[in-house]
A and B are shown apart, each in its own frame.
Chain A
């Protein structure tokens, strides 16, 4: 087996394993930890696929900032454990079966060769480097980029408004 394939299989196994770990853990903190691990492996995939910038963002923003936020909320709410049985347990087997069907469908598409994909080529030097991404981001995708900033602002304000306990009463003029 080619060394690349070995790397892929090992990393893929780790990714799937950590995802399953997230799914199965009883404790939400463990779930979060497994997810961070999963994100880290995916970041390595990004590196392999020639996307160093995205990999970096994945580690800093996703595995870093966002997951810290998750852990923070879990700790804040004391919501590590909560499993009270409800009347929806019949849903679990259905969901698993449907998931398997989805996988079979995807596998069939891949195996039958309906979607003929070209082989991955070796990219030119500098592909996916921050400089190249930046150039594209600030020329062709400038408007979406600016819109994104508005979106983030809106999200920030939204989060503040939603979590504010009571509107501080204004002084009457």
Chain B
């Protein structure tokens, strides 16, 4: 556990708790000293904490390779020890968990660095510079919790991390809790945070039920023991089904799948680095990790694969269509994330665990890149619109000079207010292009390899899922093309876009690194070689099967993606919109469909009508009829009160006055007399009290000696 032990043979495994300790130390340092030390110190400490966790992950990676991929379990503490139940605070180091650790801490570190630059401006636009340190405390806490989630050796520890990241997500979505997503003062952001938390609670309920059921049928929560029990065939089929379905409910909550995905788009209320880290790259992939980790459970249940795969595929397509109709640059990416998570869930649902994990990793690269890029765009527009320093605060009338759509505050996230940004912010532009190509699945870029592997698996598994996912991939390329044309090409459509400023270096360096990763990341699982797959095979065992490269699938999806990009150019690139207020070309052509996509297919409203309102009505009905009329009016008034009166009338006269009062008064008199007698001793003189102590000492001693 100590750092010095790392030099021992095989000692790197003993470092594993530090992946949690480093972020915790970082957050404690910032908690204690952050406020006094200034932004440079805070950013450095937080980034360093995350970076050291990454260094430990790298050390674990090499140690694991030297160990030929054999897993190690590091026991840190006993946790729950009741009878046969023995749950430890154990870290599991296997290829799967180390992969997740590398992704979480690696991308986490880049995003920490980015945030150090980004939040400098954000806290000033929100006029609350003191929040800077709070942000990094939450961010480090998130890294620590995520590390617990991915490194735990039992479902309970995983659950601790699961809930911990949920808490961090809540805190960070509501980071500007006194504002609304459009930047004005209000409760919008805290509403979004609440929504995320409650939607996740529904999922967490599922996960908890899965844990309970698992413990009920296997008497253990440790991964290997649970899976061993499953292998032995003692566990009834219905129990496996129940566990898998409950777990799937948990996954739909955390990984934003149908029907619980609604919280993720709203989660964009958080600062952009949060969207990138938590709501794109890491936390939301926890569900995919959970399914991969529980591969034996999901593979054991009859028909479980189909359910999971269809949930994922359905989400992938559904969210992709919504993304087409969004104007907010981050909302597009949010629905894109939901859609890509659908791809991953579909992949792991089909049993293609390696393909799903591969897509998880590449998606972490390019989606983090896209989110950070969008943050850089937003920052550039905001700084162009409202230069900091020239105008501290107060001169907000500037915001009303005509370029905005709604006549409210200027929205720097609205793509209609952008345009022509490629010349103003070239670094952001080029890195964004890399991310777009990766997400659209253009060959060579990372997304091509991972998405292709999923599609090839889908063709093998079920042609229906293949078709659905292909259409989703088509939409993906289309909405990304639309976004790039709207944001970077054409002419600036607002004052902010005209005067946009390139972001500082701390923001750009992570972008460049992520762009490189997004471009080259696909080669780590090159078809027919499958280094990444074989790496995971150490953990997955016989649940791993290499995906055969299918040239037709690859060509087809490439053609689809390029066609989608071309169509998006026809629609948006050829004749760029001139003003911010113009209608979307798609809206002119298909008003009904576009309205649906823009309004997110009214899912929030449907949930409101179908679930929330009836729930409220039921609650009101229960309150009125059950609680008030039945319980209060009838039961309390008639049964209890009247019955009570009858009883008391009897008790009051013969029983109470005669017997009870006599005893009570007697007791009172005795107490009073005793108190009067004892009050002599309370003189208030300390010495007097000491005397009584001494009397006690002497008497006790006397009793002990002379008894």
Which A residues are CB-close (under 8 A) to B685?
A: 86, 88
Which residues of chain A from 82 to 102 have a CB within 8 Å of any chain B CB?
Answer: 86, 88, 91, 94-95, 98, 101-102
A105 in contact with B702 (CB, 8 Å): yes
Which B residues are CB-close (under 8 A) to A86?
A: 685
Which residues of chain B from 662 to 707 have a CB within 8 Å of any chain A CB?
Answer: 683, 685, 687-688, 691, 694-695, 697-698, 701-702, 705-706
Assembled-state Cα–Cα distance A101/B706 (Å): 13
Assembled-state Cα–Cα distance A96/B701 (Å): 17
A72 at the interface (CB under 8 A from B): no
B691 in contact with A91 (CB, 8 Å): yes
Give B680 Cβ to nearest chain A Cβ, in Å: 13
Partner of B705, one of A88, A94, A95, A114: A114
Assembled-state Cα–Cα distance A95/B697 (Å): 12
Which A residues are CB-close (under 8 A) to B706?
A: 108
Assembled-state Cα–Cα distance A88/B688 (Å): 8
Which A residues are CB-close (under 8 A) to B687?
A: 88, 91
Partner of B702, one of A91, A95, A101, A114: A101
Assembled-state Cα–Cα distance A88/B697 (Å): 21
Give A111 Cβ to nearest chain B Cβ, in Å: 11
B691 in contact with A105 (CB, 8 Å): no
Interface residue SS majority, chain A = helix
Assembled-state Cα–Cα distance A98/B697 (Å): 10
Assembled-state Cα–Cα distance A98/B691 (Å): 9
Assembled-state Cα–Cα distance A114/B707 (Å): 13
Given contacts A88-B685, A88-B687, A88-B688, contact A98 B705 (CB under 8 A): no
Assembled-state Cα–Cα distance A88/B685 (Å): 8
A91 in contact with B688 (CB, 8 Å): yes
Number of A-B pairs, beta carbon distance below 8 Å: 28
A102 in contact with B691 (CB, 8 Å): no
B698 in contact with A94 (CB, 8 Å): no
Give A114 Cβ to nearest chain B Cβ, in Å: 7
Which A residues are CB-close (under 8 A) to B691?
A: 91, 94-95, 98
B698 in contact with A108 (CB, 8 Å): no
Which B residues are CB-close (under 8 A) to A114?
A: 705
Give B684 Cβ to nearest chain A Cβ, in Å: 11
A109 at the interface (CB under 8 A from B): yes
Give A33 Cβ to nearest chain B Cβ, in Å: 24
Partner of A105, one of B683, B688, B694, B705: B705
Which of A101, A108, A114: most chain B CB closer than 10 A?
A: A101
Assembled-state Cα–Cα distance A142/B685 (Å): 41
B688 in contact with A98 (CB, 8 Å): no
Partner of A102, one of B683, B688, B698: B698
Given contacts A102-B701, A105-B701, A105-B702, contact A95 B694 (CB under 8 A): yes
Q: B695's closest neighbor in chain A, by CB?
A: A98
Assembled-state Cα–Cα distance A109/B694 (Å): 19
Give B474 Cβ to nearest chain A Cβ, in Å: 58
A108 in contact with B701 (CB, 8 Å): no
Which B residues are CB-close (under 8 A) to A109?
A: 705
Assembled-state Cα–Cα distance A108/B705 (Å): 8
Q: B701's closest neighbor in chain A, by CB?
A: A105
B702 in contact with A98 (CB, 8 Å): no
A101 in contact with B698 (CB, 8 Å): yes
Q: How many residues of B contact A (CB 8 A)?
A: 13
Give A116 Cβ to nearest chain B Cβ, in Å: 15
Given contacts A88-B687, A88-B688, contact A98 B701 (CB under 8 A): no
Assembled-state Cα–Cα distance A88/B690 (Å): 12
Q: A106's closest neighbor in chain B, by CB?
A: B701
Assembled-state Cα–Cα distance A66/B100 (Å): 61
Which residues of chain A from 115 to 169 have a CB within 8 Å of any chain B CB?
Answer: none
Which A residues are CB-close (under 8 A) to B702?
A: 101, 105
Q: A108's closest neighbor in chain B, by CB?
A: B705
Assembled-state Cα–Cα distance A105/B687 (Å): 23
Q: A114's closest neighbor in chain B, by CB?
A: B705
Assembled-state Cα–Cα distance A86/B698 (Å): 26
Assembled-state Cα–Cα distance A3/B687 (Å): 42
Which of A94, A98, A108, A114: most chain B CB closer than 10 A?
A: A98
Give B133 Cβ to nearest chain A Cβ, in Å: 16
Which A residues are CB-close (under 8 A) to B688?
A: 88, 91
Which B residues are CB-close (under 8 A) to A108?
A: 705-706
Assembled-state Cα–Cα distance A105/B694 (Å): 14
Give B36 Cβ to nearest chain A Cβ, in Å: 11
Assembled-state Cα–Cα distance A91/B702 (Å): 21
Which A residues are CB-close (under 8 A) to B705?
A: 105, 108-109, 114
Give A14 Cβ to nearest chain B Cβ, in Å: 26
Q: A91's closest neighbor in chain B, by CB?
A: B691
Assembled-state Cα–Cα distance A88/B687 (Å): 9
Give B390 Cβ to nearest chain A Cβ, in Å: 26
Assembled-state Cα–Cα distance A91/B687 (Å): 9
Assembled-state Cα–Cα distance A98/B695 (Å): 7
Which B residues are CB-close (under 8 A) to A91?
A: 687-688, 691
Which B residues are CB-close (under 8 A) to A101?
A: 698, 702
Chain B 118-153, CB-CB to A under 8 Å as 1, else 0, gives 000000000000000000000000000000000000
Which B residues are CB-close (under 8 A) to A102?
A: 697-698, 701
Assembled-state Cα–Cα distance A102/B696 (Å): 11
Which B residues are CB-close (under 8 A) to A94?
A: 691
Assembled-state Cα–Cα distance A109/B688 (Å): 28
Give A115 Cβ to nearest chain B Cβ, in Å: 10
Give B682 Cβ to nearest chain A Cβ, in Å: 14
Which A residues are CB-close (under 8 A) to B694?
A: 95, 98
Assembled-state Cα–Cα distance A108/B688 (Å): 28
Assembled-state Cα–Cα distance A114/B705 (Å): 9
Assembled-state Cα–Cα distance A91/B688 (Å): 8
Assembled-state Cα–Cα distance A149/B470 (Å): 70
Give A137 Cβ to nearest chain B Cβ, in Å: 25
Q: A104's closest neighbor in chain B, by CB?
A: B702
Assembled-state Cα–Cα distance A101/B702 (Å): 9
Q: B694's closest neighbor in chain A, by CB?
A: A98
Assembled-state Cα–Cα distance A86/B705 (Å): 36
Give B388 Cβ to nearest chain A Cβ, in Å: 23
Chain B 22-39, CB-CB to A under 8 Å as 1, else 0, gives 000000000000000000
Assembled-state Cα–Cα distance A89/B701 (Å): 26
Assembled-state Cα–Cα distance A136/B697 (Å): 34
Give B280 Cβ to nearest chain A Cβ, in Å: 39
Assembled-state Cα–Cα distance A100/B136 (Å): 69
Assembled-state Cα–Cα distance A91/B690 (Å): 11
Assembled-state Cα–Cα distance A74/B541 (Å): 82
Give A117 Cβ to nearest chain B Cβ, in Å: 16
Assembled-state Cα–Cα distance A91/B686 (Å): 12
Give A148 Cβ to nearest chain B Cβ, in Å: 26
Assembled-state Cα–Cα distance A114/B698 (Å): 18
Known: A98-B691, A98-B698, A108-B705. 11 other contacts (CB 8 A): A86-B685, A88-B683, A88-B685, A88-B688, A91-B687, A91-B691, A94-B691, A95-B694, A102-B697, A109-B705, A114-B705
> What are 9 A-B contacts with C-beta separation under 8 Å?
A88-B688, A91-B688, A98-B694, A98-B698, A101-B698, A102-B697, A105-B698, A105-B705, A108-B705
Interface residues of B (CB under 8 A from A): 683, 685, 687-688, 691, 694-695, 697-698, 701-702, 705-706
Those 4 A-B pairs whose CB atoms lie nearest each other, nearest first: A101-B698, A102-B698, A105-B701, A98-B698
